[in-house]
Structures are given as C-alpha cells and as structure tokens.
C-alpha cells in the first residue's frame, strides 16, 4: 500500500528534511508490509476431477434432476449448487447454463436447456442453491442416457482468480458435469391392444382397434375406417407425420395390397397417450378383386418421427408401426346380368331367359335386315361396374351361346358403355 | 347394387344367315373386362324365338302350272319381242326378277336364260341348251338402303344368240 500526501500540491513545502530542495520528494510513502487482493472463483461444490477417454472433467453430485427418465418434449426440474470458492465477491450479473450431454464433456451435439442470469452479488466462500424448474427436453431429442452439465459464468462476465483447483485460468472449474445420469425417452407410435401373432408369412402385429363398421362392401364404394393411435413412448411425437390405411388379402403389408388413405397428423402427441382417428369415405377401388380383406394401418409411414426402440422389442422403433386388424371384411364385385331372368333347361343344359330382351320386329326378320334390340342391364352385385365394358347381342339357333352344333352368330357389339352402380353418377334408372 | 339401365340399338342380321328360328342372346361384359361375383349370368336369352327369313328370288308374276312333265312355274314377265327367231340369230329377252323372301339377296349372283323344248329345265332326259349366262349381277337390297322386307324386284334384259 502507498500513501501520497498533498496529492494535489496545494501546499508550498520547504525543502525536504529527507532529501534535496524539493519539499514534495517525501510526500509518497509505501507501507512496509504487503497484502493480497483476491477475486471470486465460481464453481460447484463437492466436485471431483475425473478422467475418461475424452480427457479431464469436473463432476459433482450437486447437479441433479429428480427424474430418472423423461420423455423428449417434456420438462424436467434441475437443481445445482453454485459456490464462490474465491475470496472476492462475484459481482452480478453473470449467466449460468444447463446442458444435457451424452458424455461427460461439453462439446458439439450437446443440447442447451437453460441460460439463467444471476442478478445478485455472491460473497466470497459462499454457496447458493439454484432450482431451474420446467426445462423442456427438446422434441426429437434422440433417446438415450444423458448427463446434466452446468456451465457457470458462461459469458465470462466475472473476473475470477486463478482456480482453486490449480492453473492460472479461473474458469477451469466453471463447467461441471453431474455424477448421475437420466434417460431421455422418444415417442413410440403404435396401435394399442395389439398382439404379436404369426402365420406362414411370418410375424405380424394385430389389434381389434382397427375396424370398419361394415362387414361387406362393394368395390367402388366407400367405407369408414376407425383406428387408435397410441404413443407408447415417453417422448412427445412431433407433428407432422403420416398414417396410411391399406387393405390386404393377408396379415402382411406387401405387394398387391391397396392403399386407401394417407392422413397427415398436424398436432403433437404426448407420450403414453392414445387418440382415436376416424377416416370417413375411404373408397375401395372399383377394380378391387372380390374376397376377404384385412385393414392394415401403417403409422408414421414416412418415418418422420424419431422413435425409441419399440416396447415390443428390437432396436427399431418402427417395428410396431404397422398393425393389421383382427377382423376382416368382404369386398363384393359387380355382377352384370339382365334382370327378371329365369333359369330354364333344355337338352343343351341350363340357360337364362328374360322378358327384358325384346326385338322389333318381334318375331320375324329377314337376313340382311336391321333388327332393333332393347334389353335391360342390371348390376346385381355390390361392387361398382366401372366403365368401359362391352355388351354383345347374338342370335343363336338354340338357347346357348356356344360354338357347338348350333353356333351362335355374333351380330353387333352393344354401343353401351357406362359405369353402373356408382353411387353418385349412375345412369338414372328407367322404368 | 341393383342399378340398371336399358340399352337398345339396331343390329343387322347378316345377309348370309340361314333362315330359321333363332334366339336373341344378350351377353353383358362380353370382353370379361370386369371381375364379377357371378360370371354365369352374363348370357341371357329372350323368352321367345325370332324367325330369320332368307331371300327368295323368283320371276315376278309367276304362277304354278302343271303339265305332263310335272309342276312348273310360268310368268308373263319373261318375254321376247318376237315370237319367231331363226337359229343363229340374236334374241332379246326381258324378265322381271322378284325377291319374294324377307331376307336381302346379296350380290353377286347369276341369272341364266335357257331355251327348252318344254317347261322343265335341268331334267336329264330332256336336256336343255344353255343359251347364255345372264349378264346381271346385282344386290337386290344394298346395304345403306332402307331394307325392304319383300317384293323387291328389278327388270332385267339381255340378248342371247340361239345356237
């Protein structure tokens, strides 16, 4: 310490008794003993210097969250202690950050959860507890085990003394990792109440939570499909993603199956929740072959959601995204015929006849002459008869259209082409 | 399901269709374009049969007569301008052809003019001499003309040389 008297040179001093003619030569005098001025040193208490393949790191159990498991997209509370290990006051403001990391080192790929600004000074050799509630693990955080890392004075706003842990840099002990870990869970989209079954095609998932209210539907007509979507993971499933509805002749989504619908989910879905989806008016294509079909739902068909390993096993979170309905429904085809027909029999076997076929003239016509033929066509099936198709008018020496002893003679392909049975566009029935 | 429509159209009975009773059959989805739940009811017949008549060529005004050679037909619509002609000379013959049937007589066909000692052609014991193949070949009812069911006729004439 140094004292300088009459530092403003207001006095006219006599020649100094100590030296020479300048009376101010002895105005400045230093103390005979030294003293140290110490700065703050921010860190976390109860830390230990550890080492792994990534190098040295500081770890402390004074950083923790009450949760062992948290879903991506959901919040956690983080507690940590701040210690001013120096002898100086840490002067506000400064900022502390909370990160999550897959290892013990703050580096690329780590995820920042929080930046908190300290707005009060912190005395030397004091400790402060900080609770940061509701820090959200970002949606789509890859599932796995994470550590909390606290970085004190992240903006290097506090001038710190050389760290008490050694070295000349007072910031070396500002970044400390938690000694305990916690797990982040991703979403896991599936259909609830499913069972893992097996047939000749291999394993498949089946659930009664996929169904249509009808047991029988005609090709070319619409059906409503209901299914439940379950997020079986703890993470939030982030929109958008797409779900598809297929129909299949078996329990497996493969070639030849028919896509009925692609629905885009436009809202997030929290973990461990279910939602019901109704897709109305899904059209069974008119050329669908008649028979028994299964509904198959493929969730997240575009693989837009990062899913955790499936609860049904395996490392692939998508293994339970495709689920088949446990009940089937039948698709009916069209059935074109002439109405009011009767099944008759002659020596040539059975044949069908109907008064809905008339000619003009009705009884006699000359070879080479025009004959007007009127007939009625009925779609007696459930399915839509989708144009184009052809009808033909023949004359035959018997009641049978064949090429045998009395071959029928093809006269004229019918001019009628149309779509018969279409609910909205069918020709108006005539009387 | 159950929708229906009525179709109608004119079809031409082929001119070479053999005359007789026929059934009109309608075959829906004739090309098997559709996959149907029942493919056995696509062919349905009309409940009543339809008679197809063929053409019937003859000479206008012919009547059936009888002589010692049996029945024969005769018509005043075959005539020549002369009642006497010399051998080796030319004879003009006119006759009226009638299609007395329902069917169209479709060309080509040939008419022949014969000279006979009696009223009966083509009998071996009384052979007739063929004078000349008729020049006329025609279709009594051409396609594109409104078909007439019967009694269409045409005048034909030709010149033949006697042997």
> Could you read off the pLDDT of A379-396 as tens digits, one per residue?
998 888 888 888 888 888
Tell me the nearest-neighbour CA distance from B115 into chain A, angstroms: 33
Res. B144 pLDDT band, cuts 50 70 90:
very low
Domain of residue A119, residue span: 42-185
Residue B103 pLDDT greater than 60, yes or no: yes
Across the interface, of A337, A412, A420, the residue whose CB is closest to B41 is A337
Residue A180: φ, ψ to 5°: -110, 155
Query: What residues does A345 pair with on adjacent strands?
Result: A350
Write out residues 298-357 of A within 8 Å (CB-CB) of B. Answer: 332-339, 341, 351-357
**Could B4 and A378 be called an inter-chain contact, meaning their C-beta atoms sit closer than 8 Å?**
yes
The answer to whether residue A105 sits within a structural domain is yes
What integer pLDDT is reported at residue B109 of this predicted model?
86
Complex confidence, ipTM: 0.72
A400 in the same domain as A298? no
Domain boundary among A274, A304, A332: A332
Whether A303 and A187 have beta carbons less than 8 Å apart is answered as no
Nearest Cβ partner of A353 from B30, B47, B106? Answer: B47
Instruction: Say if residues B46 and B16 touch (Cβ distance below 8 Å).
Output: no
Q: How far apart are CA A71 and CA A352, in angstroms?
A: 69
Locate B7 and state its tokens: 């179709």
Domain spans of chain B?
20-52, 57-161
Judged against a pLDDT cut of 80, whether residue A152 lies above it is answered with yes
CB-based contact A366 B13, cutoff 8 Å: yes
Q: Taking 50 as the threshold, does the pLDDT of residue A358 lie above it?
A: yes
What is the pLDDT of chain A when averaged over all its residues?
A: 88
Q: Per the CB < 8 Å rule, is A357 touching B37?
A: no
| Residue A133 falls inside a structural domain | yes
Partner-chain residue, chosen from B6, B42, B44, that has the shortest CB–CB distance to A374: B6
Q: Calculate how close chain B gets to A374, using CA atoms only, in Å.
A: 4
Residue A334 with chain B: CB contacts under 8 Å: 34, 36-37
CA distance A91 to A123: 8
> What does DSSP assign to residue A58?
E
Same-domain check for residues A193 and A327:
yes
> What is residue B160's predicted lDDT score, i.e. its pLDDT?
58
Name the β-bridge partners of B34. none
Structure tokens at B154: 């045409």
Three-class SS of B37-100:
CCCCCCEEECCCCEEEECCCEEECCCEEEEECCEEEEECCCEECCCCCCCCCCEEEEEEEEEEC
Domain ends where: A185, A220, A244? Answer: A185
Whether residues B53 and A365 touch (CB distance < 8 A) is answered with: yes
> Are A197 and A147 members of one domain?
no
Say if residues B66 and A381 touch (Cβ distance below 8 Å). Answer: no
Least Cα distance to A54 among A103, A110, A98 occurs for A103
Q: Report the gap between the CA of B49 and the closest CA in chain A (Å).
A: 7
CA angle (A347, A351, A357) in 5-degree steps: 130
Residue B90 has pLDDT above 70, yes or no: yes
Contact call for A395 and B50, based on CB within 8 A: yes
Average pLDDT over residues B72-79: 90
Higher pLDDT, A376 or A4: A376
pLDDT in tens, A112-127: 999 999 999 999 999 9
Q: Let me know if residue A425 belongs to a domain.
A: no
With cut-offs at 50, 70 and 90, classify the pLDDT of residue A19. Answer: low
| pTM assigned to the model | 0.67
Q: What is the mean pLDDT of residues A187-198?
A: 94
Q: Which among B25, B47, B52 is the nearest to A401, CB-wise? A: B25
Q: Do A379 and B23 touch (CB under 8 A)?
A: no
**One domain for residues A56 and A119:** yes
- Residues on chain B touching A395 (C-beta within 8 angstroms): 13, 17, 22-25, 50, 52
Distance CA A367, CA B16 (A): 7
Q: Count other C-beta atoms under 10 Å from residue B25's C-beta.
A: 28
Three-state secondary structure along A388-407?
CCCCEEEEECCCCCCCCCCC
Chain B touched by A214 (CB under 8 Å) = no
pLDDT at B138: 34
Q: Which residue has the higher pLDDT, A261 or B78?
A: A261
Q: Is the pLDDT of residue A423 over 80?
A: no
Q: Which residue would you say has higher pLDDT here, A155 or A36?
A: A155
Chain B residue with CA closest to A420: the answer is B3
Q: List CB contacts (< 8 A) between A378 and chain B.
A: 2-4
Residue B96 scores a pLDDT above 60: yes
Query: How many domains is chain A built from?
Result: 4
Instruction: Name the pLDDT band for A192 (thresholds 50, 70, 90).
Output: very high
What residues 43-102 of chain B have any CB closer than 8 A to a CB of chain A?
A: 43-48, 50-55, 101-102
| Residue A410: Cβ-neighbour burial (10 angstroms; 0-12, 13-18, 19+) | middle
Same domain, A286 and A231: yes
In a domain, A278, yes or no: yes
Q: What is the pLDDT of residue A343?
A: 95
- Are A270 and A145 members of one domain? no
Are A357 and B5 a contacting pair at CB < 8 A? no
Q: Based on the number of CB atoms within 10 Å of its own CB, is A217 exposed (0-12), middle (13-18) or buried (19 or more)?
A: buried
> What pLDDT shows up at residue A387?
82
Structure tokens at A264: 């885009």
Domain edge (last residue) among A150, A170, A185: A185
Mutant choice from B27, B101, B139 vs A, greatest count of A C-beta within 10 A: B27
pLDDT at residue number B9: 82
């Amino acid at each position: 310490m140094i004292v300088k008297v009459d530092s403003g040179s207001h006095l006219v001093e006599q020649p100094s008794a100590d030296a020479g003619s300048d009376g101010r030569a002895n105005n400045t005098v230093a103390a005979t003993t030294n003293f140290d001025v110490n700065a703050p040193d921010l860190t976390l208490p109860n830390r230990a210097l550890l080492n792994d393949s990534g190098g040295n790191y500081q770890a402390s159990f004074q950083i923790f969250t009450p949760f062992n498991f948290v879903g991506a997209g959901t919040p956690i509370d983080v507690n940590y202690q701040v210690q001013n290990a120096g002898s100086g006051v840490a002067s506000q403001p400064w900022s502390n950050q909370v990160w999550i990391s897959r290892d013990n080192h703050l580096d690329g790929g780590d995820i920042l959860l929080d930046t908190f600004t300290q707005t009060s000074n912190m005395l030397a050799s004091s400790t402060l507890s900080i609770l940061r509630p509701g820090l959200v693990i970002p949606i789509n955080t890859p599932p796995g085990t994470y550590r909390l890392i606290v970085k004190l004075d992240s903006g290097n706003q506090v001038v710190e003394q050389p760290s008490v842990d050694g070295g000349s840099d007072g910031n070396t002990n500002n970044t400390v990792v938690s000694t305990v870990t916690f797990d982040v869970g991703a979403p896991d989209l599936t259909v609830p109440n499913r069972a893992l079954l097996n047939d000749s095609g291999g394993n498949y998932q089946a659930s009664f939570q996929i169904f249509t209210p009808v047991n029988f539907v005609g090709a070319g007509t619409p059906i409503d499909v209901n299914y439940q979507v379950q997020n079986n993971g703890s993470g939030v499933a982030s929109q958008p993603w797409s779900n598809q509805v297929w129909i299949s002749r078996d329990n497996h989504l493969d070639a030849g199956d028919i896509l009925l619908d692609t629905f885009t989910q436009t809202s997030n879905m929290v973990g461990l929740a279910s939602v019901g989806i109704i897709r109305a008016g899904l059209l069974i294509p008119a050329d669908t072959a008649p028979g028994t079909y299964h509904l198959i739902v493929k969730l997240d068909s575009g693989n837009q959601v990062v899913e955790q390993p499936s609860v049904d096993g395996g490392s692939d979170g998508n293994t339970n995204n495709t689920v088949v309905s446990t009940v089937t429904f039948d698709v009916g085809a069209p059935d074109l015929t002439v109405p009011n027909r009767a099944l008759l029999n002659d020596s040539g076997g059975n044949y069908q006849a109907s008064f809905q076929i008339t000619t003009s003239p009705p009884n006699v016509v000359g070879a080479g002459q025009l004959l007007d033929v009127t007939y009625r066509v009925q779609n007696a099936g459930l399915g839509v008869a989708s144009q184009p198709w052809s009808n033909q008018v023949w004359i035959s020496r018997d009641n049978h259209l064949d090429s045998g002893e009395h071959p029928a003679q093809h006269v004229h392909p019918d001019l009628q082409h149309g779509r018969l049975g279409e609910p909205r566009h069918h020709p108006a029935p005539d009387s | 399901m159950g929708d229906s429509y009525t179709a109608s159209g004119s079809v031409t009975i082929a001119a070479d269709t053999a005359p007789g009773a026929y059934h009109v059959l309608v075959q829906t989805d004739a090309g098997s374009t559709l996959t149907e739940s029942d493919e056995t009811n696509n062919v349905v017949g009309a409940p009543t049969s339809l008679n197809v008549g063929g053409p019937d060529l003859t000479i206008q005004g012919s009547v059936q007569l009888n002589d010692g050679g049996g029945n024969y037909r005769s018509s005043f619509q075959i005539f020549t301008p002369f009642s006497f002609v010399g051998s080796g000379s030319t004879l003009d013959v006119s006759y009226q052809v009638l299609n007395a049937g329902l069917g169209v007589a479709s060309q080509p066909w040939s008419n022949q003019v014969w000279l006979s000692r009696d009223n009966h052609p083509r009998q071996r014991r009384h052979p007739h001499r063929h004078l000349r193949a008729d020049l006329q070949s025609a279709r009594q009812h051409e396609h594109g003309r409104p078909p007439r069911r019967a009694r269409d006729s045409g005048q034909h004439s030709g010149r033949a040389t006697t042997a």
